[in-house]
Structure 1
Amino acid sequence: MPNRSPITAICLGIGLSLAACRAPSPTPEGPSMPWVSIPASDARLQYVGRTYRAGTGVVFSHPGVTVRASFWGDAVRMRLDDAGLGGDVGTNHFDVSLDGAPPTQLAVHPGQGTYPLASGLPVGLHTVELFKRTESLVGASTLVALEVHGELREPPPRTGLRMEFIGDSITCGYGTGVTFMPESSSSKVPTFTSKHQNPRRAYGWLTARHLGAEAVFVCYSGHGVYRNLDLSTSGLIPALYEQAVPDHPAAWDFSSGPPDVIVLNAGTNDTFAGAGTAAFLPDEAAFKAAYRTFLERLRTLHPRAHIICTLGSMTDGFKRREQQGVVTSAHVGDWISALVAERQSQGDARIHRHVMAMQNPFADGVGEDWHPSAATHQKMAEALSRFIQDVVRP
C-alpha cells in the first residue's frame, strides 16, 4: 500500500480528489501571499467623481476624486502616472485613508511611479481610500494599477444621496490648509501652493458630510460663467461641465450616477475680472445669457435634481466704479437671484437661491490669496446645510 501523507489520506477519505486537495487556499495568508496587480479599470475599484478610461489607465484631475478598494492581505500600493510639473504649485497631493482612519497626505512626483499606501498590516480584510486634494490646474493624474499583497475583494457600498458642487477656486478648497490674520484690507498674504489645497476643509465636502451624502466636485480656479478672471473666454464653467477631465477631449457620461442635489457657486471670477481695464464691470446681458443657458442645460441633464444657486463668500457680486464723479455699478448676486426667480416663475420648483454670507477676514482669517479660511468654510457649510434641510428637504 503506497505511503500517503496525513492530509492526502483525509482528503481521499472525505471524497476529495488529489487536485482539489492540493488547491491553494481561497484566502492567502502570510509571506506566501503574492503581489497582485489590478488594472485601474477593474470594476472592483470604486470611483467617486469624474474620470475617463485611457489606454494606460483611469484619468482624473478634479479635486475630491476618490478611489476605494477592499482587499484581503497585509499591504497595498499604487502605480500612478502624473502630469503635474512638480514644485510648490505643480505637485499633486492625495489623502490616503486605511480602514476609515484619519488620512495621511501623499505628494506624488511627475511621471510614472509606484507609491506604497500601506504595509505591515495584520493579514485580513482592509479598505483603502485615495482622495485627490489638488485641482486641475495642478495637473491630471492617471491611475495605472492598484497592487495588493493578497487579493482584491468587492468594493464597499456607496452612500445613497449624491451631491454635485460646481464652481471655481472656492469650491475647489483653494488655500484652506493655512490661515492668515490680515491687519488691513491691503495686507499681503501668501499665494497658492498645491500642498495647502484641501477640499475636505471646504464648504462642499463639509456640507455633504453633514448630510450623509457623497460629494462630486466640478470646479476650476479662475474660471467663470461668461468670462474668466484673466478676461479669457475659453474653458468657462459651462464648457468644463461637459468634460470628464478639463483640458482633455473626453466627454462626461451624464447617465453615470446623476446627482440628487446640485450646488452652483459661480460668478465670483466674472465679478472680479477686469481690474484696471475698460471691462472692470461685468456685463449684465452677457452674464445673464450665459448663466440662463447653463441653468437650462443643467435642468435638461438632471430633470429631478434640486439646483441651488449661490455665490461667495469672497464677494456678494456687487462692484462699483467712479469715474470723473460718475458712479456706475453691477451686482452679479442680484442677477443670479433674478434668474432663479425667472425659472421659478416658469414652473421649475426644484431651483433655489441661497445667499451666502461674505467672509470676515479679521475675525476668521483668510487662506492663500485672500480665499476663505477653513473657519469661513465651516460657517458656509453650516448655513448651506441648514438651507438644504429646511428648504430642499423639508
Structure 2
Amino acid sequence: MGTFLKIKSLGLTALMLLAVSCSGRHSVDVEPTDPAILYMGRILVTDSTAPTFTYPGTTAMLNFEGNGIAMAASPGSGQFMVEVDSMAPFKINFTPSDSLITLADSLADGPHSLRVTYAIEGYEKHPEFRGFTITGDNAKLLPAPQRPGLKIEFIGNSITCGYGTEADSGDIHFSYDTENHTLSYAYLTARALDADFNIVARSGIGMYRSYGGPREGTPAERMPVEYDRTLIYNPSHYWNHRSFRPDIICINLGTNDTSLDNYDIELFETAYKKFLAHLHILQPQAKIVLLTGPMLHGQALDDVKASLDRLAEGNDNVYRFDLSEQTGELGYGADYHPSAAQAAKNAGELTTYLRTLIP
C-alpha cells in the first residue's frame, strides 16, 4: 500500500523538477487536456484556460504505470476525494498555497488507476484541473478508463451537494471541511449504478424561490436560471447540452422553495412545469424523476408531493419517487442536513428504484 503526503506550492514547474531530482526517477507530465483523462461533470475548456468547473462531483479519472502520482490544480481550489486503485478514499485540500499535491508514492510496479472527485461547491473558489505528474522508472500514462454507458444527471440543492455530511451533529454549522459530495445520495447512487454522471446543484437554490427569499420568489437566483450555464453564477459560458445526453434526470428541489413556511405552491408548480418543458426540449430521450428530499416534512412535504404528482400525471417520461424523510435516528449533518448514514439510506432507495427504469 502506498504512502500519501502533501507537497506545498513552490511554483508548479519547480516542484516537478524538485520531485524528480530528489527521487532520481523518471517522470511523465500529463496535460489536463490529455484525452487519456476521463472527465465527468460540467467543465469549461478553452484555449486560454485549464479545465475549469464549479459543481461538486466533477471527476477526473486516469490509468497509469509508475510508483507515484501527483495532481496539479489552481491554488485555493479546495477539497477533493482521491481513490488510488482499491485503497480507501482520502481527502486532499488545495489551499491558497498549494498548487501540486502528491497523491501516492511507493506504489508497486504495474498498472494503477486514479479517480479524483471534487467534494465541495466551488463557485467561490474557481477550481481548475492543471494536470498530473507520474513518477517512477516505468512511468507512463495508459489508455483512458472506459466511459460508463449509463448517464444520469442530478439537479438539486444542498442535499445533492453533500452539505454537512461529515459533521457529527446538526448543531454544527456549515463549512467546506464537512461538505463531502462523495457521501451524498446522488454520488452513491451514481457509483452503485456505475453511471457517468453530471451534478447541477447549489446549496440554498430552489425552483422558484431560493432559501429565505420572498414568498413571490427569487427570479434571478433559482435553478431554471442557472441550469443552462456551464459554471454557476457565470452567464458567460452556456452549457452544450448535446455533450451530455442523460438517460435519467433526477430533480430534487422544493426544500428551499418551501423554506420558513413562506411559499406559494402554485408559483412553485408553475415554475416546475415550465422547467420540465425546457428539459423535454433539451433532452427528449431522458426519463425524468421528480424527487422529494429527506428534509421536507409536515405540510410542506404534503404540498410538494401533491404538486409533483400532478406534474408527473400524464407527462410522458416523467416519474415520481420520494426519498424517505429523515427522523434523526441516523443522526444529522451540519445545520440538520442529512447525515452520511441518511444519505446512504436514500441512495439505496433511489438506486433500487432507478434500476426499474433502466432497460
Q: Which residue of 1 aligns with 2:308?
A: 336
Deviations 1:245-275 (A, max 9, x none): 2123221111123111111001110110xx4
- Work out the CA distance in 2 between the residues paired with 1:112 and 1:56: 18
Query: For residues 93-132 of structure 1, what are the alpha-carbon distances to aligned partners after superposition, in whole Å with 9 as ceiling and x for unaligned?
Result: 1111112322111011126611112222233322211111
Matched, 1:271 2:258: yes
- Identity within the alignment, %: 30
Match of 1:40 in 2: 32
In 2, are the aligned partners of 1:179 and 1:368 still within 8 Å (CA)?
yes
Long gaps (5+) in structure 1: 1-30, 85-91, 181-187, 321-329
Matched with 1:51 is 43
Matched, 1:287 2:268: yes
Report the CA distance shift for 1:256/1:314 in structure 2 as closer, same or farther (over 3 A): same
Contact kept in structure 1, 2:152 and 2:247, CA below 8 Å: yes
**Cα 1:106–1:61 shift into 2, 3 Å:** same
4+ runs deviating over 3 angstroms: 31-34
Q: Return closer, same or farther for 1:158/1:282 CA change in 2, 3 Å cut-off.
A: same
Alpha carbons of structure 1 residues 73 and 389: separation in structure 2 relative to 1, 3 Å: closer
Distance 2:75 2:312 in 1: 40
When residues 312 and 158 of structure 1 are mapped into structure 2, their CA distance, relative to the original with a 3 A threshold, is same
Aligned residues: 328
Give the Cα–Cα distance (whole angstroms) in 1 for the partners of residues 355 and 173 of structure 2. Answer: 36
Matched, 1:239 2:225: yes
Matched, 1:135 2:121: yes
Structure showing greater radius of gyration is 1
* 1:211 matched to 2:178: no
Whole-Å separation in 1 of the counterparts to 2:106 and 2:76? 30
CA contact (8 A) 1:138 1:194 kept: no
**Residue pair 1:267, 1:317 contacting (<8 A) in 2 also:** no
Partners of 2:75 and 2:219 lie apart in 1 by: 27
Contact 2:44 2:230 in 1 (8 A): yes
* 1:9 match: none
The CA distance in 2 between the partners of 1:204 and 1:284, in whole Å, is 25
Rounded Cα–Cα distance in structure 2 between residues aligned with 1:264 and 1:332: 13
Q: Distance in 2 between matches of 1:218 and 1:256?
A: 15
1:387 maps onto 2:359 in alignment: no
Q: Distance in 2 between matches of 1:377 and 1:176?
A: 8
SS in 2 for 1:204: helix
1:230–1:122 distance in 2 versus 1, CA, 3 Å: same
Equivalent residue for 1:356? 323
**Cα shift at 1:316:** 4.3
TM-score, normalising length from structure 1?
0.77
CA contact (8 A) 1:82 1:140 kept: no
Normalised TM-score (structure 2): 0.85
| 2:308 aligned partner, one-letter code | I
TM-aligned CA deviation for residue 281 of structure 1 = 2.8
Q: Deviations over 1:264-299 (max 9, x none)?
A: 001110110xx4xxxx53123321221111111111
Which residue does the alignment assign to 1:178? 167
Question: 8 Å contact 1:67–1:129 — kept in the other structure?
Answer: yes
Give the Cα separation in 1 of the matches to 2:355 and 2:131.
40
Q: What are the superposed Cα offsets for residues 70-100 of structure 1, whole Å, 9 maximum, x if unpaired?
A: 222222112211455xxxxxxx211111123
* CA–CA separation in structure 1 for the residues paired with 2:285 and 2:69: 40
Q: Which residue of 1 aligns with 2:110?
A: 124
Structure 1 contact 207–381 (Cα < 8 Å) conserved: yes
Question: What are the superposed Cα offsets for residues 331-356 of structure 1, whole Å, 9 maximum, x if unpaired?
Answer: 23321221111x52xxx1x1101122
Aligned residue for 1:67?
60
- Find out whether 1:297 has 2:297 as its counterpart: no
**Is the 1:174–1:367 contact (alpha carbons within 8 Å) kept by the matching residues of 2?**
yes
Instruction: Return 215-224 or 144-153, whichever deviates more.
Output: 144-153
Shift of 1:138: 5.2
Q: Within 2, Cα distance between the matches of 1:305 and 1:113? A: 39
Aligned counterpart in structure 2 of residue 199 of structure 1, from 181, 197, 214: 181
After TM superposition, list the pairs within 5 Å mapping 1:315-330 onto structure 2: 315-316=296-297, 318-319=299-300
Checking the alignment, whether the CA contact within 8 Å between 1:49 and 1:216 is kept in structure 2 is yes
Alpha-carbon separation, structure 2, partners of 1:70 and 1:389? 29
Structure 1, residues 128-182: CA drift from partner, whole Å, max 9, x if none?
11111111355231112222222222111122211111100001111111333xx
**Structure 2 residue corresponding to 1:223, chosen from 175, 197, 205:** 205
Q: Secondary structure at the match of 2:230?
A: coil
**Alignment partners' CA distance in 1, 2:298 and 2:210:** 15
